[in-house]
Amino acid sequence: MPETAALLRHFEAMQRIRSFEEEVARLRGTGDIVGSVHLCNGQEAIYVGACAALDLERDAVFPTYRGHGWTLACGVPPRALFAELLGRQTGINGGRGGSAYFTAPEHGMYGENSIVGAGAPIAAGAALAATFDGSGRVALAAFGDGALNQGAVHEAMNFAAVRRLPVIFLVENNHYSELTPIADMVRIDKLFRRASAYGMPGARIDGNDPEAVRSAVAEAARRARDGEGPVLLEAMTQRIVGHYIGDAQHYRPAGELDAAAAAEPIGALLWDLLSAGVAQSEVDIVVERVRREIADASAQALADPIADPSTVLEHLYA
């Protein structure tokens, strides 16, 4: 069992992501945030555990479009993220990117990608560069279970294996490829087994346990830095919200959401903390501190100036 101080840090980081997403859902409901939004409630342990294992001053994270949690776990301030979602000048991309295009390379977060699986070959490119620049950088590509069927992901993993690149391929297996169960998409739903076909190690881990994720990613990063090549990790989790805001989730069988809510990572970690002797009052202080932080960040972002539409074509490349 890790020290309670480490568990409390994980708990606070996961609570920050959960509170942020709940506030995003509220702002989307009021119309302050517009456009497509994909929340990550229930998957927070993956982001927190993985980022705790990386050196974000040199490593590079390439998440999928469900990337709010990754961005927060990388250390980006919530106000800048709210401002981006709200189309404010103070957003991390000047209010131009919105929910699916968060980018903050100064925090080791090299951009979401709304093209399914497209982060994998980009991460392989960053890992290839690391073999020349002497940085010791490890690249991590995160994507959903459905993305593993994309041709670009296959090519990235094959290339990374052949070149022994320092890259970690992390599958966030929340059991659904958008609205379709992964079991209906593939013949063998233990996705980590695909690693053997590329000649790389693969493992399935508990994606609801931040320490399990941290340990697995730390070992994968060690192998990568030692020149032993890529790893495929399949982190098992469940989202406790729809695929997107507005998803009625009619495709989910009765009782599944209740079971997912009972196993979700924040509640599970809370139980571990209390079992380890941490007082409920200490946990309550953390929750209240995060609640105030998120409320203040949201209010400040709402008061920030709206991005100037006359600059909308700036910073575009084709």
DSSP string across 120-158: HHHHHHHHHHHHHH-----EEEEEETGGGGSHHHHHHHH
Residues with Cβ within 8 Å of residue 5, at least 6 apart in sequence: none
Residue 2 confidence (pLDDT): 72
pTM over 0.85: yes
Residue 4 CB neighbours (<10 A): 15
Residue 311 confidence (pLDDT): 87
Cβ burial of 114 (10 Å; 0-12, 13-18, 19+) is middle
Residue 109 confidence (pLDDT): 97
Tokens representing 175? 């059991």
Any idea where the domains of the chain sit in the sequence? 4-75+108-301
Residue 304 confidence (pLDDT): 98
Residue 1 confidence (pLDDT): 54
Q: What is the pLDDT of residues 70-88, one digit of tens each?
A: 999 999 999 999 999 999 9
Name the fold adopted by 4-75+108-301: Rossmann fold (3.40.50)
Instruction: List, for the chain, all residue ranges whose pLDDT scores fall below the cut of 70.
Output: 1
CA distances from 22 to 17, 131, 221 (A): 9, 40, 32
Yes or no: say if 266 and 12 are a contact pair by the CB < 8 Å rule.
no
